Structure 1
């Protein structure tokens, strides 16, 4: 686990980012407030000023996932064409393969863990994941694909599945191979629309 979150942000945001990181690396149930405080470089007592409960930290971590997703999507939007944006998304996933080897997908592993609870936090995370799914669908629609919704689910499901397998088998090569396949798939979808 990395030791700290960059001090660029205020304490509340640092705690949220640290919570997202530590929950990903250790799981919600195994994580203590002290673990999060250490990574955020905030005294443990100060955590309670911002977050009264661990569940509030989980909500903050979900917010950190949403912020990160928006930053990634903003960066991807700099690509000119929707196919280029999708290929860049896949390449970004592949670049994170060593993290997937150790901990799986940040959002996927948190979603799996939160699904076992009955507090509704899984629904909050699902909203973040729906935002990514809607963005992917919009890219396929911009490519002229009438089946954009189905293609979006297929792409996100491929990523979630390969993240799980990469983590299970501790093999980053699996994600690299799947990334190449997905880029080729996106290429073929573009070509079929152009014909």
Structure 2
């Protein structure tokens, strides 16, 4: 096979390949976690899973509509599980709210001499305690909203990254890809045919 044939084969089997590699990575992450979650193998697999999860997400978004719905769902769930795993303990809400506080604080410095509706002088907000208080309130508001969203994402992330569920997800992705490689449709098709 020359390079163009390999490229054509990969293009023709992209969803199957994405599912197969993503499933193998999810399964390996679960296995290495159970063996030793402090090992370099586990950390390397987690990094590889994160990078491949990003690729899976991009492929799922760019190929949405051309792939079967079941395939897109498997890819999306596996991509989310692989991407979120390294970040389950990171508190993005506090980082984002601190960033917003800093931006608001810096932006309010430009209110010196600014007149709102040509009648309200906002200079008082550009200095001292009022500037700090407004920046703090803006940061607290952003924290409340993003903390809720973060906890929701973490809840689903921790559920999908609970090692038995991650292992089952990995096996399901591998089985889905093998069914697709052999021309037998999807796990959904297989389950539907067994219930009839």
TM-score category of the 2 structures, normalised to the smaller one: under 0.3
Task: Give the TM-score, by structure 1 length.
Answer: 0.26
**Structure showing greater Rg:** 2
TM-score by length of 2: 0.26
The structure whose residues are more often helix, as a share, is 2
